Amino acid sequence: MKKYAKELVILLLQLFMFYIFPLFAGPTDAMGMVVLILFATLALSLVLGICSRSAVKWAYPAVCAVLFLPTVPIYYNSSALIHAVWYLVLAAVGLAIGSGIGALVRRLRKKA
C-alpha cells in the first residue's frame, strides 16, 4: 500500500470532490459544481501524472469516470451521466500532459 500512497491520496481527493463538494452547492448551482469538479479533475490528474511513476496511474481516468456515476442519482439527474465521459477524457488528457511534464523534469534533473 505504501507503494501507491501518492495515487491513493489523489483518489481520495477526487472522491472528496465528487461526494462532498456538491453538498455545498445550492439546487441551481449543479452545473457550476460540475464545471468546478471538471477543473479539479484536470488539476488532480496533472499532479498524478507529474508525481507518480507507477503504471497504475493510467487506470485513473477510468476510475475517475466510474466514481462519478453513483453521484448522478444522488446529486444530479440522469442528464448528468454524459459528464462521466468528460471526466474520463479530461483525466486522460491531464494525465498525459502531467506525465510528459514529469518525464521532462526528471530528464532535466538527471542532466544537472
pLDDT tens sequence across 33-68: 777 888 888 888 888 888 888 888 899 999 999 999
Q: How far apart are CA 44 and CA 41, in angstroms?
A: 5
Task: For residue 8, give its domain range.
Answer: 2-111
Angle at 2 between CA 101 and CA 51, to 5 degrees: 10
> CB–CB of 34/84 below 8 Å?
no
pLDDT tens sequence across 1-41: 778 888 888 888 888 888 888 888 776 676 777 778 888 88
Q: What is the pLDDT of residue 53?
A: 83
What is the radius of gyration, based on Cα positions, of the chain?
15
pLDDT over 80 at 69, yes or no: yes
> CB–CB of 89/60 below 8 Å?
no
Bigger pLDDT: 64 or 75? 64
Q: What is the pLDDT of residue 40?
A: 86
Q: What is the pLDDT of residue 104?
A: 92
pLDDT over 90 at 88, yes or no: yes
Domain count, the chain: 1
Q: How far apart are CA 80 and CA 53, in angstroms?
A: 33
Average pLDDT estimate for 59-86: 90
Q: What is the pLDDT of residue 26?
A: 72
Question: Secondary structure of the chain: what % helix, strand, coil (to 5)?
Answer: 85, 0, 15
> CB–CB of 40/20 below 8 Å?
no
